[in-house]
Amino acid sequence: MAKVVLDFEKPIYELEQKIDEMKKLSESIELGDEILKLEKKINELRMSVFNNLSRWQKVQLARHPERPYALDYISLMCEDFIELHGDRHFGDDKAIVGGFAKLGDHSVMLISQQKGRDTKTNIYRNFGMPQPEGYRKALRLMQLAVKFNKPIITLIDTPGAYPGIEAEERGQAEAIAKNIFEMSGFPVPIIVVIIGEGASGGAFGIGVGDRVLMLENTWYSVIAPESCSSILWRSWDYKEQAAEALKLTAPDLLQQKIIDRIIPEPLGGAHRDYKKMGMILKEVLLEEIKNLKKIKPEKLLESRLKKYGNMGEWDTL
């Protein structure tokens, strides 16, 4: 796959290339000082670019085609994983993967949307856009987790639930509604992590949890900025403004108390260092599981109900 470099990543990549070239040269000439200088410069550049990203730039990073996806995280973090298939009613949706996973000492049920890397795998995964049977597979697996008293971990990365004729006919709305309804009542810990795109109901269909975490460069909202632009501005050209208005980044949502925690990414984004990203996420998940396991099921359900009950603001005349 051709390397994808976003506009604001370009100056960094250019400097990196320069350093690589100099390193090759330095085998014959002494360039140690120059390289050190450039490395210092590149770090400053990385800091200044990545500490000042606009909301739209974060959306672009969240969609970066080189970002780690669910199956990458599973192989980076899990000692063992058995993928389970099918909703037992209609079929097996490849846009959602799930199964039993070993995470450190814990057995968990891990469920996620899965995108493809290229045209072929994207068609296979339907670009990470689940159909109703995907949500119903997720529900079945979560019910298994409840039956065997295992924590549920969901990783969210979807541009939305698939808007197609068959998806509608098989009850896309009902499938998502049912999952949200059931997830609010499962007496096991649920941890939700937004690892890329968290687009609306398609994301929320596996997104109700006790702890909701977001990787640093991801987005989560009720609508994608482009669609928001097309509806409210009646044009596709206001995606940057829409992203600003929606306040859809991890720091925004932490401030709005919709998420509980931001997980830092390696400098430059998750796609620049898979191994490190996997380690960071695993460590966070182990800590969260440990904490949630201490809480009694009744208490867990009570606080989940209360947490979502508290979301929203209004005035009284």
Cβ atoms of 74 and 117 within 8 Å: the answer is: no
Distance in angstroms (rounded) separating the CA atoms of residues 25 and 285:
43
Phi, psi of 113 (to 5 degrees): -75, 150
**Amino acid identity at 142:** M
How far is residue 122 CA from its own chain's centroid?
17
- Smallest gap from Cβ 64 to another protein, in A, equals 22
- Tell me the number of residues near another protein by CB under 8 A: 56
The tokens describing 256, both together, are: 């709005």
- Antiparallel, parallel or unpaired: β 96-103 and 106-113: antiparallel
Q: Which of residues 249-278 bind another protein (CB under 8 A)?
A: 253, 256, 258
Residue 228: exposure state from Cβ atoms within 10 A (0-12, 13-18, ≥19): buried
* Binding map of another protein across residues 219-238, x = CB under 8 A, - = no contact: -xxxx---xx--xxx----x
Task: Assess 204 for contact with another protein (CB under 8 A).
Answer: yes
- Smallest gap from Cβ 252 to another protein, in A, equals 8
**Amino acid identity at 101:** A
- Smallest gap from Cβ 56 to another protein, in A, equals 15
Q: Which of residues 119-178 bind another protein (CB under 8 A)?
A: 161-165, 167-174, 176-178
Distance in angstroms (rounded) separating the CA atoms of residues 214 and 254:
9
- Smallest gap from Cβ 259 to another protein, in A, equals 9
- Smallest gap from Cβ 177 to another protein, in A, equals 4
Q: Please select the residue that binds another protein; options are 124, 148, 236, 308, rule is CB under 8 A.
A: 308
Q: Please select the residue that binds another protein; options are 15, 180, 254, 292, rule is CB under 8 A.
A: 180
Q: Please select the residue that binds another protein; options are 85, 102, 247, 261, rule is CB under 8 A.
A: 247
- Smallest gap from Cβ 173 to another protein, in A, equals 4
Cα 134 to Cα 87, 96, 152, 202, 260, distances in angstroms = 7, 6, 16, 10, 26
Q: Which residues bind another protein (CB under 8 A)?
A: 161-165, 167-174, 176-178, 180-182, 184-185, 200-201, 204-205, 208, 220-223, 227-228, 231-233, 238, 241-242, 245-248, 253, 256, 258, 304-305, 308-309, 311-317
